[in-house]
Homo-oligomer: A and B are copies of this chain.
Amino acid sequence: MSRKYDWRTGCDVEATLCVLGGRWKPVLLFHLLDGPKRFGELCRLTPNATQRMITLQLRELEEDGVIIRTVYPEVPPHVDYRLSEFGQTLEPLLLSMRSWGEDFKRRQSGLQSEIPELSRETG
C-alpha cells in the first residue's frame, strides 16, 4: 500500500490513488494488460523511466497485490510480471486513461500547429 494516501479517510478517488498513485504505476500496469512481460520488455516500453524507478514501482505494485512476479530458475535469469486477478480489475480504468491520453495528444498536436510560439520551439 502506498503510504501517501489514506483510503480510510479519503474519498473513493483517493483510495484508488493508494494503488495507482505512483510515478510510473499506471504506465507499467497498462503495458501488462496484454499479457505478462519481462523486466527488460517493461524497460523498453517505458523509456522515460529509469531502470531503478521501474524496479521500485514494480515492487510496490507487487506488495499491493496488483501484479505477480514470477522467477524462472534459469540461467540467464528469467523473470516476468503479470497482473493478478485483482490487478485485472483495473483494466477499464487503464483503458480509460489510454483513451483520454490519445485525445489529449491529438489536441496538443493541434494546438502546436496553431500556436507559432510553441511550434517554433522545435525549429
Residues of chain A whose beta carbon lies under 8 Å from any beta carbon of chain B: 4-7, 9-21, 23, 26-27, 30-31, 45-48, 86, 89-90, 92-94, 96-105, 107-108
Contacts and interface: CB of A to CB of B under 8 A. Distances in A.
How many copies of this chain are found per oligomer? 2
A30 B11 contact: yes
Contacts of A45: 11
Interface residues of A, dominant DSSP: helix
B13 A98 contact: yes
Nearest to A12: B101
Nearest to A28: B13
A-B interface, 3 closest residue pairs, ranked by CB to CB distance from nearest: A12-B101, A15-B101, A16-B101
Given A5-B48, A92-B96, 10 more contacts: A7-B101, A11-B45, A12-B97, A12-B98, A12-B99, A14-B101, A16-B26, A20-B97, A21-B23, A96-B96
